[in-house]
Structure 1
Amino acid sequence: MEFKHINYTLQEYWVEIVINRPEVYNALNLEVLKELFAAFEKAGKSSEIRCVVLTGMGAAFCSGQDLKAVGQDLEAIPFREIIRDYYNPLILKMQALQKPIICKLNGLAAGAGCSLALASDVIVASKEAYLPEIFAHIGLVMDAGGNYFLPKRIGYPLAFELATTGRKVYAEEAEKIGLVNKAVEHDQLDAAISQYVEIYVNASAHAVGLIKEMLHESAGMSLQEVLDMEMVYQHKAGKHQDFIEGITAFIEKRKPRFNS
């Protein structure tokens, strides 16, 4: 697919995906959603890519759904079809991707844009960034996985408050309550992202992929089910070449050189 509304920039062992509609604060329309899905699919098929950085062009990360793109007839908006055919497949693609997704939260992440950020595995935010769940202010409810990711990160009481009040949560507060992983000065954002990228491009991609899968699988499981899952996945990890390299490097007191 030729990308027109996003930038897909391949670096050494990682890729940066940038929503590129700064004139509308990187609002999402069907074309952007299709391109994001294709971009994550492309990244998933590459054995060279160890992690993905997701961000927005300009001053915003993503302002959510482009309301002008759904038409003038508000009563005829096909909510079910848009969510079923575009948003849900994208969020599921992100979760199924066996590579870390690092959200470079450079600015506003509102509505579905907030959900997109929360669907990432690690969120590093500029202190100028903020996340408002604005759905209730226009008579809607959270979608794009917001009802799954928000309470998982911060628990029900805070999730309910943010989802119903729509108040702006700036990065420093977001870090304190666990909504984002790290908040940094805006001019330090690239450096902070680079630190995470360096970790993941040098880690065992096989082990990291399994860990991501297990953490998602464990939601709703009983302790016995988790223990059984750990047994299965540890067997997978232990039979992989990365385990041999990791142990050998530890014994030889050197950094491991993972090929996966």
Structure 2
Amino acid sequence: MSKSITTQIENKVATLTLNRPEVFNSFNREMALLLQSELDACEKNTDVRAIVITGSGKAFCAGQDLKEVTSPELNPGFKKILDEHYNPIITRIRNIEKPIIGAINGVAAGAGANIALACDVVIASESASFIQAFSKIGLVPDSAGTFFLPRLIGFQKASALMMLGDKISALDAEKLGMVYKVVSSENFMEEVNGIANTLAKMPTKALGLTKRLLNNSLHNNLEEQLNMESKLQIEAAQSEDYAEGVDAFVNKRRPEFKGK
């Protein structure tokens, strides 16, 4: 039996692929816990400086496997699903101080859509789509959808998408500001790998501190954010990558950052 998450590390980029294509990469408990484990491994591995999350087959992720929640034997219950599956995944995506790319190769629905939106850089194939599918079955959005989507596209648009459950094409998602970039299906992984390789060669320490600043900007006031910028800028200025960046600039050469 194949693993529900496959991991490949190349050129300091870890690609985590949701691998249940027969059910459109919907999450069961095994896959949710394994994704957390793989993210933890990527965080600890100093040879990994960028992370890609994508899906196998035609879908990115269709959200929760409804067969699991309707099975008397398998159903872990919604509290366990949220507390032990999705909430820890979102927390890891936001707290790992390395760039995480959501490579959305196909439909992203329900929790799958919101996991995508939590990533640092979201790249969508032109064949991808996004749907807040919760209202279709009488549920509320989870996996931080009500946190990120209004901040990305505005309260009114987010409210309508969540209540109506409209499917949004990749191009419309780009226009709304849900995703960074849409690329052709033929060149999708080539484009994703190009961006991931670029990020993996950049000053990882500074990128991680930038991510921390962005996370805190969601609740800090202006004074608090300015103070945090000052504190983390001092920390960044003590890094080896800063010294390398300045030396490369002065000597008109390409910097070779080590992520330290």
TM-score range, shorter chain: over 0.9
- The residue type equivalent to 1:175 in the other structure is E
* Superposition deviation, residue 152 in structure 1: 1.6
1:85 match: secondary structure: helix
Alpha-carbon separation, structure 1, partners of 2:31 and 2:132: 20
* Superposition deviation, residue 87 in structure 1: 1.3
* Superposition deviation, residue 242 in structure 1: 1.1
Alpha-carbon separation, structure 2, partners of 1:196 and 1:4: 26
- The residue type equivalent to 1:248 in the other structure is D
Q: Please tell me whether the aligned partners of residues 201 and 258 of structure 2 are also in contact (alpha carbons under 8 angstroms).
A: no
2:187 match: secondary structure: helix
Match of 1:239 in 2: 238
- The residue type equivalent to 2:147 in the other structure is Y
Alpha-carbon separation, structure 2, partners of 1:259 and 1:64: 36
Q: Which structure 2 residues correspond to residues 1-260 of structure 1 after superposition, within 5 A?
A: 4-72=3-71, 78-260=77-259
1:257 match: secondary structure: coil
- The residue type equivalent to 2:95 in the other structure is A
Alpha-carbon separation, structure 2, partners of 1:193 and 1:247: 28
* Superposition deviation, residue 195 in structure 1: 2.4
Alpha-carbon separation, structure 2, partners of 1:161 and 1:191: 34
* Superposition deviation, residue 70 in structure 1: 1.5
- The residue type equivalent to 1:95 in the other structure is R
Moved segments of 4+, more than 6 Å: none
Alpha-carbon separation, structure 2, partners of 1:43 and 1:157: 37
Query: Gapped runs of 5+ residues in structure 2?
Result: none
1:98 match: secondary structure: coil
RMSD: 1.3
2:54 match: secondary structure: strand
Alpha-carbon separation, structure 1, partners of 2:149 and 2:120: 13
Query: Gapped runs of 5+ residues in structure 1?
Result: none
Alpha-carbon separation, structure 2, partners of 1:12 and 1:183: 23
TM-score, reference length from structure 2: 0.96
Q: Quick one: structure 1 residues 197 and 77, their matched pair in 2 at CA, closer, same or farther if it must change by over 3 Å?
A: closer
* Superposition deviation, residue 72 in structure 1: 3.8
* Superposition deviation, residue 105 in structure 1: 0.6
2:186 match: secondary structure: helix
